[in-house]
Amino acid sequence: MSALRTIGMAAAVVAAATLLQARSVMAAEGDKFERTVSVSASGTVSAEPDIAYISAGVVTEGQTAKDAIVRNNTVMAKVIEGLKGAGVAARDIQTTTLQVEPRYSQPKDGQPGTINAYRVANQVRLTVREVKRLGEVLDAAIALGANQINSIGFDIANAEALKDEARKQAMANAKRRAELYAAAAGVQLGQVLRISESVIDMARPMAQVRAMAASVPIEAGTRTLTVEVHVAYALR
């Protein structure tokens, strides 16, 4: 057998051994990561809102755009200054809408309508940091001249802290569930391999309507924060 042929055969043997070893390592790694258990669990925390948001504004009309704007500015300035005097901080009053649009007469005899007035709408978003004062602020806005209330929303100032509590609950529930599966399978629970989460924020009405002011009853309800975690554990 020639020296060249002998070297070639030796190289082939080494290559085959190397490939076999690599496949063995890959199989071992594959077996290692196949021994896992994945579970999903949730944690839930509920709390009463302590912040409210109101969209309020003034709508006026005039024969000209300038006339409508002047009227609107006069009333809106009164509303804003009055709300500040009622305890709403300047940083909690934010203009969100300012619209000027023509008003048309009804078409007649096939002729298109003509502009006979202008309408101006100016809206602000009010942040009320004491929910118990919400009815009082609404009453004040209306008494000062606000003639448009579009929406009311509620929030929780320390929502992130509540989410953290829900996260702890979710992880504790996930571990308990994973331990149950591991015990049932006759193995032991190992280290955490993967964690992912999803957060659900829901508003839930309270059993009773809570009146914040005699003239404006408000139902604040509760906010329910749910955190769902998806956890993968190694098995030993």
Rounding to the nearest 10 degrees, give the CA dihedral for residues 223, 227, 228, 234.
-160
Q: Are strands 93-104 and 36-47 parallel, antiparallel or unpaired?
A: unpaired
Per-residue pLDDT, 203 = 56
Domain 51-155 class, CATH top level: alpha beta
Give the pLDDT score at 31. Answer: 52
* Token pair 């508003």: residue: 203
- Spell out the per-residue pLDDT of the chain, length 236, in tens: 555 454 445 444 444 444 445 444 444 555 545 789 999 999 999 998 999 999 999 999 999 999 999 999 999 999 999 999 999 999 999 999 999 999 998 887 777 778 889 999 999 999 999 988 888 899 999 999 999 988 888 889 888 999 999 999 999 999 999 999 999 999 999 999 999 999 887 754 433 333 333 456 667 778 888 999 999 999 99
Residue 224 in tokens: 């329910």
Domain boundaries of the chain, sorted by first residue: 35-48+159-235, 51-155
The predicted pLDDT at position 185 comes to 93
| Residue 53: closest CA among 125, 143, 157, 108 | 125
Give start and end residues of each alpha helix (H) in 48-203: 65-85, 134-144, 159-185
Distant-in-sequence, close-in-space partners of 68: CB < 8 Å, separation ≥ 6: 60, 61, 62, 100, 117, 118, 119, 120
Q: Model-level pTM?
A: 0.63
- Residue 96, pLDDT score: 94
What is the C-alpha radius of gyration for the chain, rounded to an integer number of angstroms? Answer: 34
96-120, pLDDT tens digit by residue? 999 999 999 888 777 777 888 999 9
Q: Residue 101's pLDDT is what?
A: 95
Please give the single-letter amino acid code of residue 134.
Answer: L
Residue 221 DSSP label: -
Domain range 35-48+159-235, CATH class: alpha beta
**Residue-level pLDDT at 113:** 78
